[in-house]
Amino acid sequence: MPNLESVKNSLAISLFKSEAISIGTAARMVNHNLSDLITLLSSLNIPLTGNNTEDAKSDIALARQWLKNNS
């Protein structure tokens, strides 16, 4: 039986790659903070940007909030 955490990570990454969810939503799905998910995606050579402007704005706002709370 597959590891549930691996399945959740794979699902979140797949949904992010297909632009079905934002990076922030993907991070929440797998209970990772944004910086950890960005690191994971980067290590997998998955681009962090897409064509959805609203998602990009949301992700920037989420990143700014995270930085504010963790600085």
For the entire predicted model, the pTM comes to: 0.66
Per-residue pLDDT at 50: 64
State the residue for tokens 């064509």. Answer: 51
Question: Which two three-digit tokens encode residue 16?
Answer: 């992010």
Per-residue pLDDT at 32: 92
Instruction: Mention every residue, 6+ apart, whose C-beta is less than 8 A from residue 15.
Output: 21, 25, 26, 29
Please determine, for residue 53, whether its predicted confidence score (pLDDT) is greater than 80: no
Residue 66 structural domain: 4-70
Q: Which of 7-11, 39-43, 57-61 has the lowest mean pLDDT?
A: 57-61
Structural domains of the chain, count: 1
- Collapse the DSSP code of 47 into the 3-class scheme (helix H, G, I; strand E, B; otherwise coil) and give the result: coil
Mean pLDDT along residues 53-67: 80
